[in-house]
Amino acid sequence: MSTPKTYTDHALILRTQNLGEADRIIIMLTRNNGITHAVAKSIRKPNSKFGARLEPYMHVALSLTQGRGTLRTITQTTTLHAYTAPIMGDYTAYTTAAVIAETCETLTTNTPPEETPPHYTLTHGALATLAHKNTTRTTSSHATSPKPCN
C-alpha cells in the first residue's frame, strides 16, 4: 500500500462547514492549487491541535494529504496572518469579507490551479486591507479618546 501524497501550500480560509460530531470541512483558496476542500479532523474538540487557526479569513500555511476523491485531509497548520479578529470585530468589515470570500469562491471554483495565483493575491490583499483598516481605526479611536477626570 502506498503512502498518501502530502503537500504544503499557503491558504486563505473562505468558509467552514461542520462534518459529523467533531470534524469540519474547510473551504479555502490555496496559492498553488486553487479552491480546495479539506477535512480538519477533531477540530471541534476542546483539545484540538488546529483550534482557531482554521477559521474564516485566516491566512495559513498547511500540509495536506490526498483523501477520497477531491477531499483532502489537513495534517498540520501554521498561522501566517490572523485576519479573523479585526474583521469579525467590525460588522461592515465582516460583511465585506463575506462578500469577498463568496465572490472569490464563485469565480475561482472552475478555474484551473495554474490560473489562481492572481485570485489568491487579490483576495489576500483585500482581507489584509480590511483587517488593517479596522485595526488602525480601533487603535486611533483609543488613542484620541478623552481620558477620565479624577
Closest C-alpha among 98, 80, 82, 86 to residue 136: 86
For the domain that residue 127 is a member of, what is the CATH number?
Answer: 2.40.50.140
Where in the sequence is the domain holding 31, given as residue range(s)?
6-143
* Number of folded domains that form the chain: 1
CA dihedral 48→76→39→81, nearest 10 degrees, is 90
- Report how far residue 27's alpha carbon sits from residue 144's, in angstroms, rounded to the nearest whole number: 40
Q: pTM of the entire structure?
A: 0.83
Q: Flag whether pLDDT at 46 surpasses 80.
A: yes
Residues 6+ apart with CB under 8 A from 52: 58, 84
In a domain, 76, yes or no: yes
In a domain, 92, yes or no: yes
Q: 2 in helix, strand or coil?
A: coil
Mean pLDDT across 98-120:
92
In a domain, 105, yes or no: yes
Q: Which of 63-72, 90-99, 141-150 has the least mean pLDDT?
A: 141-150
Record the cell numbers describing residue 96, joined without a space: 465585506
In a domain, 26, yes or no: yes
In a domain, 27, yes or no: yes
- Report how far residue 136's alpha carbon sits from residue 147's, in angstroms, rounded to the nearest whole number: 19
Q: Flag whether pLDDT at 86 surpasses 60.
A: yes
In a domain, 111, yes or no: yes
Mean pLDDT across 53-79:
92
Taking the mean position of all CA atoms in its chain, how far away is CA 133? 18
- Report how far residue 130's alpha carbon sits from residue 85's, in angstroms, rounded to the nearest whole number: 11
Mean pLDDT across 68-82:
91
Record the cell numbers describing residue 140, joined without a space: 486611533
Question: DSSP letters along 36-47, please?
Answer: EEEEETTTTSTT
In a domain, 148, yes or no: no
* pLDDT 10s digits, 87-107: 999 999 999 999 999 999 999
* 11 exposure class (CB count in 10 Å sphere: 0-12, 13-18, 19+): buried
In a domain, 99, yes or no: yes
- Report how far residue 37's alpha carbon sits from residue 136's, in angstroms, rounded to the nearest whole number: 33
Q: Flag whether pLDDT at 135 surpasses 80.
A: no
Q: Flag whether pLDDT at 140 surpasses 50.
A: no
